[in-house]
Amino acid sequence: MSEPATTRIYVDADACPVKDEIYRVAARHNLPVSVVAGNFIRVPDDPMIERVAAGSGMDAADDWIAERAGPTDVVITSDIPLASRCVKKGSAVLAPTGKAFTEDSIGMALAVRNLMTDLRETGEVTGGPRGFSPRDRSAFLSALDQTIRRLQRARA
């Protein structure tokens, strides 16, 4: 019998475009996945995949993930404040595009997010994020696999 996995993948699932990819990579590495959303979300029937309906509160899913994620875990989110909370706890954090949020990059990501929020509130038209591309999906798969391997090497 293999040793129990100490790494868990937490997915901020409401708007995550790479859930299927996460399930495949997690299965390959035999890692549990917590798929967290505000309400019900469909997940594969697999004992390694936990579905969590965190509630409809403003940041219920974010709070659920941030309370549980730790230094051996991977968090998948495009929510920059959640990414910041998880980076501070030592978690590996990836955006669905494969971009890693780190201690070095999270401050700038928060500053840009806050600036864009302020601009939108003053009526500036800032456009939205660019569309999700096949290149983003490929970069994500590579980044997730590398992140898991790095965590496993650190644990060994």
Long-range contacts of 45-49 (CB under 8 A, 24+ apart): 49/23
**pLDDT confidence of residue 155:** 78
Q: Name residue, tokens 């939205």.
A: 128
* Percent of the chain whose predicted confidence (pLDDT) is above 90: 62
User: What confidence tens digit (pLDDT) does each residue in 90-138 have?
Assistant: 999 999 999 999 878 776 666 666 666 666 677 766 666 667 788 999 9
- Sorted by where each begins, the domain ranges of the chain are 9-125
CA distance 1 to 57: 40
pTM (2 d.p.): 0.84
**pLDDT confidence of residue 5:** 44
With respect to CATH, is domain 9-125 assigned 3.10.350? no
Identify the three-state secondary structure at position 137: helix
